[in-house]
A and B are shown apart, each in its own frame.
Chain A
Amino acid sequence: MQALVDNNGITRYLVTIKINGDEYTRVVKANTLMVNFIRDELDLTGTKKGCELGDCGSCTVLMDGKPVNSCVVLAVEADGHEITTIEGLATNENLDKLQESFVDHAAVQCGYCTPGMIMSAKALLTKNPHPTEPEVREAIAGNLCRCTGYVNIVKAILAAANE
């Protein structure tokens, strides 16, 4: 990773990260969080910040297909990796079946946890296309929702899996 020192003596790093299929090269600080890189540098604000402690899962993105809390990953750690955010799920006009299912099953209320929740579900269904209900609950246990009691979220994920 190329590093350069700015006028204030702070080292900055040149990172190249593939996000939603497109490569982005940017200069970041060592302490730049991936969630801030995604939101502030690239304006992909679908990824939400709820706690910045890794508790709530609102900032969940896929890193090389695996769900991670982007608030506890540094941008420099993602150099050379592939990231998928909520903006990368729908193709053209077509929503991902999980997105459709969340709308159809009233699994969205305030919507703040929704992007992270869908990304965790996406990772689950990619690995395990026909999960059981306990497997679904375990897969989203790191995504907190205050509105739904998870009832319709679990229903929506199971329905998307059984399509």
Chain B
Amino acid sequence: MAEKYAVIGKSVPKIDGRVKVTGQAKYTGDLKFPNMLVGKILTSPYAHAKILNIDTAEAEKLPGVKAIITHKDVPTLKYGISPARWDESIFCSDKVRFVGDKVAAVAALDEETVYKALKLIKVDYEVLPAVFDPEEAIKEGAPQIHDEYPRNINTEIHQNFGDVEKAFKEAYHVRTDRFEGNRTYQCPIEPHSAISIWEGNKLTVYSSTQSPHYFQYYIAREFGLPMGDVRVIKTFVGGGFGGKLEPTGLEFAGAALSKLTGRPVKMFYDRHEMFAHNRGRHKQIMEITTGVDKNGKLLGVYANFMMDGGAYTSLGIATAYYAGAMLPLTYEFDNFKFDMIRAYTNLPACGAQRGHGAPQPRYAFECHLDNVATDLGMDPIQLRLVNARQPNTVTPNDFAVNSCELTECIEKAKEVSGWAEKKGQMGKGRGIGIGVGSFVSGAGYPIYRTNLPHASAIIKVHEDGTAATLYTMATDIGQGSDTVLCQMAAEAMGFKYENMKIVSADTETTPHDFGAYASRQTLMSGSAVKQAGEEVKKQLLEMAAQMMEVAPGDLDCRDSIVFSLSDPEKTKPFGEVAREFFVRQGPLVGKGSYAPPKLGGTFKGAAVGTSPAYSFAAQISEVEIDEETGEIDVKEVWDIHDCGQVINPSLLHAQVHGALFMGMGESIWEQVLFDDQGRILNPNLGEYRLPTAMDMPKITSELVESYEPAGPWGVKEVGEGATIPTMGCYANAIYDAMGIRVNSLPLSYEKVWRALKEKRESEAK
């Protein structure tokens, strides 16, 4: 019998693989346009200061300088993720709020002239007291960063489901732990850049973006243009991980400079400026209290969190809600209380990084659970199995879960890692640990308030039938959405993947889609693509029925062959039918769109964390600690995933590899450090310490059988979900190896060494 599917479920090569290995793929920084200028932004050297005066006269005299702009030359409309928190401007007018805040911009003939001009701009500042710690920032009398936000509280959340106090009273054991996360940065290898071309009434922006639509929306709003007059085109993007989801000063200042000079302007960040722009992961301070019964069943959880938001909101409101919202998803418990303060500080703004607000709380919760297991004398895996979420359940915060094979993931992870033989029997300095997690397959509500569908797609079959082009604003940033969506299109049409072409992520030629965030595209964009493909197929089969003189219901199409169901010998090539269609009826086109059903509850913040489907994963790692030096050697790591049906296995596992890598970096090495003036101490990839090929352990990525009814062909997400359990799985292995817990990230060699030293000293007493 033939395989069920002809195209999906297969590890076809990436559609853009060849152009990327030959160097032909053009990223934004690779593009040139006639008469193009180069631009850069002048940023603040102070963490908090009043701007008294900006003098651009000297800089303007420099030969080659074509324009210099400050807040006086650009729209003053504030922007940000939500109208209630619009707090950022193209340029600062009254004061700067972090080292790196935007003050002015220059466009000149070449890069060297731009850097020289930036140095010639004289800005007089009155330095103000600054605050860099969120717990200090919310105290009375702390420096006020935004006048509109007393005590520097950017976002405050209080959610209460069930009765946590009662649950704690009835519990056999109640435990509280406090953990501190780290401020990390996405570090895409491609620095942000944008090219703005303002001609007449129309603005075109080429950008390294994760969401052309969101960029178009905000750029149009900022400059008072109809969205139709703003064209945002994604080029190849060299990684995003959340950092390229919102427009930056590069798009806004570049557009203003282009309008002023009448020339294309290329703006870019260097690596230091990327760290200063940031929008990376928030550092969270997480206090968790849990009550359990004698068998380890979770009765109630209280999460009392605070996060360092940096100087602006960025995407941080969503981050703050996600931090709590995702906790009751992984394990089942009825009583949940969540308090959160997102505080402003005079540091670069934080935003959405892979897994959004969820990975650090999940790290804290997984470590906390291991402590609870130790208290109860239970195996950590047993404790997780007792509480693991089950399919067709609803969380206390009203998320409906359809498919869920978490129990199977944990059991399989236990088996493939050899947990039973290893746990407690590995000898001094060695350890094994587990972390478990879950994530959304796309956000249930759009990134800004709108009733547009979340995804749409058009497929056009070429007139001679030899190729078909998929048009969608879904955004490939390296994860491979162009490839899997073409696989899905081909499957739905009964066409060959090898003959698929794609035009994606261009606001003028492709139909709306929100882009690459919240792990949404395989399920949401995929749904729209499937519908478009089926519409093509339906029309094609109707034409074939006329040509072959059979009933349309007797026909199907697979691998570009139309065949009769009753007499499979009776066939016609897809191309021949498609060509005839074009001759008789014009273009053969299919379209589709997707909007999720109404999801979630009615409490404040109920939207964040809703999703049509949720992925689940269990990860186990094995480590060895050098007790002399504190060095951590990760020996091996296993990921077992429930991500529904799989469209492209090799791309799926590659997502897991990347997540385990990023999570390992964040667990052990990565952290953005500042001096006492708010200046970054390690704004480069070497000292920030991105892991190298020599750091990576052996990795095993496997799946469990799962089918998600809400997804096209049963799919769910993988890209971010694989990041959720990771820090917890490494931290618990390190705990197991050390026999003592370090409650903060990263678990640096120094911290490990100090903790072991203290342990030895206290044991010697």
A contact residues vs B (CB 8 Å cutoff): 36, 39, 43-53, 55-56, 58, 85-87, 89-90, 95, 99-100, 102-106, 108-115, 118, 136-138, 140-154
CB neighbours (8 Å) of B187 from chain A are: 146
Complex: A53 Cα to B189 Cα, angstroms = 13
B1-45: contact bitstring with A at CB < 8 Å (1 yes, 0 no)? Answer: 000000000010110111011111111011010000000000000
**A15 smallest CB distance to B (angstroms):** 18
Rank and list the top 6 A-B pairs by shortest CB-CB distance, nearest first. Answer: A46-B23, A110-B478, A112-B238, A149-B661, A111-B20, A86-B23
CB neighbours (8 Å) of B25 from chain A are: 111
Closest to B22 in A: A90
Complex: A118 Cα to B11 Cα, angstroms = 22
**A104 smallest CB distance to B (angstroms):** 7
CB–CB A144/B661 < 8 A = no
**B743 smallest CB distance to A (angstroms):** 27
CB neighbours (8 Å) of A58 from chain B are: 189
Taking a contact as CB atoms closer than 8 A, the residue among A43, A102, A109 that contacts B479 in the complex is A109
The answer to whether the Cβ of B685 comes within 8 Å of any Cβ in the partner chain is: yes
CB–CB B14/A108 < 8 A = yes
CB neighbours (8 Å) of A100 from chain B are: 21
CB–CB B693/A49 < 8 A = no
**B654 smallest CB distance to A (angstroms):** 5
Other A-B contacts than A144-B690, A152-B657, 20 sampled, CB-CB below 8 A, are A46-B23, A51-B271, A95-B18, A99-B21, A99-B22, A106-B14, A110-B189, A110-B239, A111-B21, A137-B696, A141-B693, A144-B692, A146-B187, A146-B690, A148-B657, A148-B661, A149-B661, A150-B696, A151-B696, A151-B699
CB neighbours (8 Å) of B271 from chain A are: 50-53, 55-56
Complex: A148 Cα to B658 Cα, angstroms = 4
> Which of B186, B187, B191, B690 counts the most A-chain CB atoms under 10 A from its CB?
B191
CB–CB B661/A48 < 8 A = no
**B453 smallest CB distance to A (angstroms):** 27
CB neighbours (8 Å) of A149 from chain B are: 657-662, 696, 699
The answer to whether the Cβ of B156 comes within 8 Å of any Cβ in the partner chain is: no
CB–CB A148/B654 < 8 A = yes
Taking a contact as CB atoms closer than 8 A, the residue among A43, A85, A108, A150 that contacts B21 in the complex is A108
B541-554: contact bitstring with A at CB < 8 Å (1 yes, 0 no)? Answer: 00000000000000
Can you sample 28 A-B contacts with CB below 8 Å?
Answer: A45-B26, A46-B22, A48-B238, A49-B29, A49-B191, A51-B684, A53-B686, A99-B18, A99-B22, A103-B17, A103-B21, A110-B236, A110-B237, A110-B238, A111-B21, A111-B238, A112-B190, A112-B238, A113-B238, A142-B692, A144-B692, A146-B187, A146-B189, A146-B241, A146-B690, A149-B659, A149-B661, A152-B657
Interface residue ranges of B476-512 to A (CB < 8 Å): 477-480
Query: How many interface residues does B have (CB within 8 Å)?
Result: 54
CB neighbours (8 Å) of B114 from chain A are: none
Complex: A104 Cα to B111 Cα, angstroms = 38
Complex: A150 Cα to B696 Cα, angstroms = 8
CB–CB A103/B14 < 8 A = yes
CB–CB A109/B694 < 8 A = no
The answer to whether the Cβ of B270 comes within 8 Å of any Cβ in the partner chain is: yes
CB–CB B699/A55 < 8 A = no
CB–CB A86/B22 < 8 A = yes
CB neighbours (8 Å) of B111 from chain A are: 36
Known: A50-B191, A146-B241. A118 touches B685 (CB 8 A): no
Known: A104-B13, A110-B237. A56 touches B694 (CB 8 A): no
CB–CB B685/A55 < 8 A = yes
CB neighbours (8 Å) of B16 from chain A are: 108, 111
Known: A103-B21, A137-B693. A144 touches B658 (CB 8 A): no
CB–CB A137/B22 < 8 A = no
Complex: A151 Cα to B685 Cα, angstroms = 20
CB–CB A147/B239 < 8 A = yes
CB–CB A118/B188 < 8 A = no
CB neighbours (8 Å) of B734 from chain A are: none
B651-671: contact bitstring with A at CB < 8 Å (1 yes, 0 no)? Answer: 101100111111000000000
Closest to B23 in A: A46
The answer to whether the Cβ of B650 comes within 8 Å of any Cβ in the partner chain is: yes
Closest to A150 in B: B693
**B235 smallest CB distance to A (angstroms):** 11
CB–CB B23/A85 < 8 A = yes
Known: A103-B13, A106-B11, A110-B238. A146 touches B23 (CB 8 A): no
CB neighbours (8 Å) of B653 from chain A are: 106
Complex: A108 Cα to B186 Cα, angstroms = 18
